């Protein structure tokens, strides 16, 4: 292979062991995120996998269409391979690690004989940060190697962070194999910090820095080391009275995290002095700092965002971000101008190449851009990027938001009573399924902390870990809120305008954090007094505002039953405090409870 760019013996040994399994025709280290990225893109154009976009409209950008059977995360093919099945818990698919390895090795044996293997060293988190972590992805996909150059900090920076003696790195192998969806495996070995994904080339399955490392493996590291790895955006909000608050928000995939992270204040807010800046759009690593506050870093360096619905109107910062140096996957293509097109971007041109690379008449009703079409781009290109987004110690968090996509029942905003109650609110998060994962879009599912597909261990232990982190005597935890931007009226129309106007809701949260407004106690949590939610200039009727905040116990019966079902499925690994909060909620909503089976002391409110 020629000389290796590392003197780390543990790393060299693992790489040579992997090479003897994979038997690649050639091996190429990705060491320079700019030069190597450019070379990979050139190669992908030569092989016909990339179409170069119009250089004057989308400089240095490319269009890529995937295998039509490989367009989203495959949760039923995603496995946690830990020794004891019980440790994976009821929300994960489990495989015995020894058996899984045997099966994967059969798929991987000599799989790269006619392919080039890319060795991608990558760093998750800012350079020079004590919280950042190193991973390696050995992949036979140039598309994956190129995407990793945008999504993570690749190359020398990762090797330097690792140093010569450390064995603390995540070992990842990825192969497109034969692309047989039936033998698709996204496997995680949390005990040995390994990832193997085969037969998929889709972002969430194949870009291992993202969900595989930064959430599934990292959640286990976080449990062992006393921190939190979460499916959250991080946004900085500056008020006209010159305070700055960083807020984390957990939403399931494709529920608007990128839009919230890049929010543009409505004109009156901008004029008043409000400013919103972006730190992360998908993942946050959180630790308690020396001052007892919770501090967050973004482990990623890029955005893998949903194209559908992204427009100058809904997210101008995203549009500016993806105007150059971007990979577009499974959007449609306007062949006259060589520019990408997706639903909600603008009026479609008359002729388009669909995401399946088929020449279509745009007026036909065919799906032209896949609903899970994505853009891949460096975060540094975002006009709203926060000046501290790469700060090694992270940014201090004032509030955590949990949000679902729910047409009914859940109000626009409420505040939890305490860290414990907030943990329960996150634990019982519920949302309609989106196109980001395979499954029936629109179906309601429980998605604890928006992490259901991303927790690398037992859900009950995960809830316990949240309670433990926030319960530490030196912790001064942020307040936890719940939002629902997606409530609809009887006619199926959204009640709340969303997007930039969500800043109105954030303003209320900040005022709560700063203790400058009171709130009204309600069964779910604390609600705003309506006079405290700024609706000035909004085209919204008073009755819609009331409908947004309605809590109808009749709408909560099924929900409470399904909460109980989830908690029961955790057996004795469900912390009693979570059961206790469930029973208290039931009581507050006026449902009969057979006393409290869980004697848990009252917790101090915020």
Please identify every residue annotated as catalytic: 255
DSSP state letters, 79-127: EE--SSHHHH-TTSEE--HHHHHHHHHHHHTTTTTTSEEEEEEEEES-T
Q: Where does this chain touch ligand SAT (CB under 6 A) — which range of 203-211, 338-346, 375-383, 598-606?
A: 203-211
Burial 342-373 (b: 16+ CB within 10 A, else e): bbebeebeeebbbbbeeeeebeeeeebbbbbb
Among ligand SAT, Mn ion, none, partner that 345 touches (CB below 5 to 8 angstroms by kind):
none
The nearest distance, CB 118 to ligand SAT, in angstroms, is: 19
DSSP for 441-468 reads: TT-EEE-GGG-GGG-SS-HHHHHHHHHH
- The correct pick among 29, 213, 269, 304 for binding ligand SAT (CB under 6 A) is 304
Q: Taking the complex as a whole, how short is the minimal distance between the CB of residue 11 and Mn ion, in angstroms?
A: 29
Tell which positions 456-485 bind ligand SAT, by CB under 6 A.
Answer: none
Instruction: Give, as ranges, the residues between 542 and 601 that touch ligand SAT (CB under 6 A).
Output: none
* Residue linked to tokens 């965002």: 305
Stretch that binds ligand SAT, among 17-25, 202-210, 410-418, 532-540 (CB under 6 A): 202-210
Pick 217 or 477: Cβ nearer ligand SAT: 217
Q: Quick one: which segment of 128-136, 163-171, 189-197, 204-212 binds ligand SAT (CB under 6 A)?
A: 204-212
The maximal CA–CA distance of the chain, rounded, in angstroms, is 72
Site for ligand SAT in 233-272 (CB under 6 A): 253
Q: Closest approach of Cβ 434 to ligand SAT, in Å?
A: 8
* Residue 11's binding partner out of ligand SAT, Mn ion, none, with CB under 5 to 8 Å set by partner kind: none
The site partner of 304 among ligand SAT, Mn ion, none (C-beta below 5 to 8 Å per kind) is ligand SAT
**409-448 residues near ligand SAT, rule: CB under 6 A:** 436
Report the residue from 101, 184, 188, 210 that binds ligand SAT according to the rule CB under 6 A. 210
Identify the DSSP state of 495: S
Structure tokens given for 120? 């991608």
Residue identified by tokens 């939403």 is 251
Helix and strand numbers, DSSP H then E, in the chain: 17, 31
Return the residues of window 26-85 that contact ligand SAT according to CB under 6 A: 73
153 binds ligand SAT (CB under 6 A): no
Nearer to ligand SAT, 111 or 228 (CB): 228
Pairing of strands 185-189, 78-80: parallel
Number of residues that bind ligand SAT (CB under 6 A): 8
Is the Cβ of residue 184 or residue 211 nearer to ligand SAT in the bound state?
A: 211
Nearest distance in Å: CB 376, Mn ion: 13
Strand runs (DSSP E) across 269-350, as ranges? Answer: 275-280, 284-288, 294-297, 302-306, 327-329, 332-334, 339-341
Q: Could you tell me the smallest distance in angstroms from the CB atom of residue 300 to Mn ion?
A: 10
Binds ligand SAT (CB under 6 A): choice among 24, 125, 155, 203: 203
* Strand 302-306 relative to strand 374-378, pairing: antiparallel
Nearer to Mn ion, 73 or 161 (CB): 73
The residue among 306 and 560 lying less far from ligand SAT, judged by its C-beta, is 306
47 dihedral zone (left: phi>0; alpha: psi -120 to 50; beta): alpha
Coil, helix or strand at residue 582: helix
210 binds, among ligand SAT, Mn ion, none (CB under 5 to 8 A by kind): ligand SAT
Of 199 and 253, CB closest to Mn ion: 253
Candidates 153, 161, 174, 211; binder of ligand SAT (CB under 6 A) is 211
51 versus 329: smaller Cβ distance to Mn ion: 329
Query: At closest approach, how far in Å is the CB of 151 from ligand SAT?
Result: 9
Q: How far apart, in Å, are the Cα atoms of 101 and each of 85, 176, 206, 332, 589?
A: 16, 17, 18, 38, 49
**Shortest gap between Cβ of 254 and ligand SAT (angstroms)?**
6
Of 24, 33, 135, 204, the residue at the interface with ligand SAT (CB under 6 A) is 204
| CA-based end-to-end distance of the chain | 59
φ and ψ of 110, to 5 deg = 55, 25
Question: Which residue, 253 or 310, has its beta carbon nearer to Mn ion?
Answer: 253
Q: Is the dihedral of CA 394, 397, 402, 403 positive or negative?
A: negative
In the complex, minimum distance from the CB of residue 153 to ligand SAT, in angstroms, rounded to a whole number: 17
In the list ligand SAT, Mn ion, none, the entry touching 322 (Cβ below 5 to 8 angstroms by class) is none
Shortest reach from residue 302's CB to Mn ion, in Å: 13
**Closer Cβ to ligand SAT, 125 or 203, answer by number:** 203
Q: Which residues bind Mn ion (CB under 5 A)?
A: 253, 282
Going residue by residue from 155 to 194, which x/- string records binding to ligand SAT, judged by CB under 6 A? Answer: ----------------------------------------
Residue 11 burial (C-beta neighbours within 10 Å; 0-12, 13-18, 19+): buried
The binder of 204, among Mn ion, ligand SAT, none, by C-beta within 5 to 8 A per type, is ligand SAT
Nearest residue (CB) to ligand SAT, 278 versus 418: 278
Q: What angle do CA 267, 479, 411 make, to 5 degrees?
A: 65
Please list, in sequence order, all residues whose beta carbon lies within 8 angstroms of the beta carbon of residue 543, skipping any fewer than 6 positions away. none
State the minimum distance, in angstroms, from the CB of residue 205 to Mn ion: 13
**Angstrom distances, CA of residue 448 to CA of 230, 437, 459, 548:** 11, 16, 8, 23
What is the chain's alpha carbon radius of gyration, rounded to the nearest angstrom? Answer: 24
Strand ranges (DSSP E) for 466-551?
Answer: 479-483, 519-521, 526-528
Are 452 and 433 within 8 A, CB to CB? no
Cβ contact 174:141 at 8 Å: yes
Q: Site residues (CB under 6 A) for ligand SAT?
A: 73, 203-204, 210-211, 253, 304, 436
């Amino acid at each position: 292979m020629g000389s290796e760019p590392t003197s780390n013996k543990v790393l060299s040994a693992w790489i040579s062991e992997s090479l003897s399994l994979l038997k690649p025709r050639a091996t190429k280290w990705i060491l320079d995120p700019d030069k190597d990225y450019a070379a990979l893109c050139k190669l992908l154009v030569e092989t016909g996998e990339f179409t170069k976009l119009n250089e004057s409209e989308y400089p240095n950008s490319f269009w890529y269409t995937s295998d039509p059977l490989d367009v989203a995360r495959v949760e039923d093919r995603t496995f946690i391979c830990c020794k004891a099945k019980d440790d994976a818990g009821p929300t994960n698919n489990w495989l015995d690690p020894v058996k899984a390895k045997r099966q994967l090795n059969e798929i991987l044996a000599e799989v790269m004989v006619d392919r080039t293997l890319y060795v991608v060293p990558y760093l998750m988190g800012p350079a020079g940060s004590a919280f950042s972590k190193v991973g390696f992805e050995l992949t036979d996909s140039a598309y994956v190697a190129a995407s990793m150059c945008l999504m993570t900090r690749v190359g020398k920076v990762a090797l330097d962070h690792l140093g010569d003696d450390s064995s603390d790195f995540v070992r990842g192998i990825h192969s497109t194999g034969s692309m047989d969806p039936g033998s698709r495996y996204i496997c995680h070995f949390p005990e040995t910090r390994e990832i193997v994904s085969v037969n998929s080339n889709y972002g969430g399955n194949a870009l291992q820095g993202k969900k595989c490392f930064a959430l599934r493996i990292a959640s286990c590291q976080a449990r062992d080391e006393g921190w939190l790895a979460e499916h959250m955006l991080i946004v900085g909000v500056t008020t006209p009275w010159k305070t700055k608050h960083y807020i984390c928000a957990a939403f399931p995939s494709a529920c608007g995290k990128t839009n919230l992270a890049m929010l543009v204040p409505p004109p009156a807010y901008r004029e008043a002095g409000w400013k919103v800046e972006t730190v992360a759009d998908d993942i946050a690593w959180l630790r308690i700092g020396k001052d007892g506050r919770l501090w967050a870093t973004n482990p990623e360096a890029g955005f893998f965002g949903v194209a559908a619905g992204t427009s100058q109107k809904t997210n101008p910062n995203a549009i500016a971000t993806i105007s150059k140096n971007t990979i577009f996957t499974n959007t449609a293509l306007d062949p006259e101008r060589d520019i990408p097109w997706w639903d909600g971007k603008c009026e479609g041109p008359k002729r388009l190449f669909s995401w399946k690379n088929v020449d279509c008449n745009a007026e036909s009703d065919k799906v032209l851009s896949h609903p899970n079409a994505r853009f891949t781009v460096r975060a540094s290109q975002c006009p709203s990027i926060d000046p501290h987004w790469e700060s090694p110690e992270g940014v201090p968090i004032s509030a955590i938001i949990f949000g679902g996509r729910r047409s009914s029942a859940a109000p626009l905003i409420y505040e939890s009573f305490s860290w414990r109650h907030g943990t329960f609110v996150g634990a019982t998060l519920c949302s309609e399924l989106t196109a980001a994962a395979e499954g029936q879009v629109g179906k309601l599912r429980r998605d604890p902390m928006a992490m259901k597909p991303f927790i690398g261990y037992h859900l009950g232990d995960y809830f316990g870990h949240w309670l433990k982190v926030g319960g530490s005597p030196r912790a001064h935890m942020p307040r936890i809120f719940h939002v629902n931007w997606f409530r609809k009226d009887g006619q199926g129309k959204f009640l709340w305008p969303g997007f930039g106007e969500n800043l109105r809701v954030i303003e209320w949260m900040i005022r709560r954090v700063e203790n400058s407004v009171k709130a009204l106690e309600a069964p779910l949590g604390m609600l705003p007094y309506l006079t405290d939610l700024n609706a000035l200039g909004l085209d919204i009727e008073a009755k819609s505002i009331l409908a947004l905040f309605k809590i109808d116990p009749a709408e909560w019966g099924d929900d409470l039953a399904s909460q109980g079902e989830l908690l029961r499925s955790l057996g004795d690994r469900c912390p009693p405090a979570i059961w206790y909060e469930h029973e208290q909620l039931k009581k507050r909503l006026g449902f009969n409870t057979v006393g409290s089976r869980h004697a848990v002391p009252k917790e101090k409110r915020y």
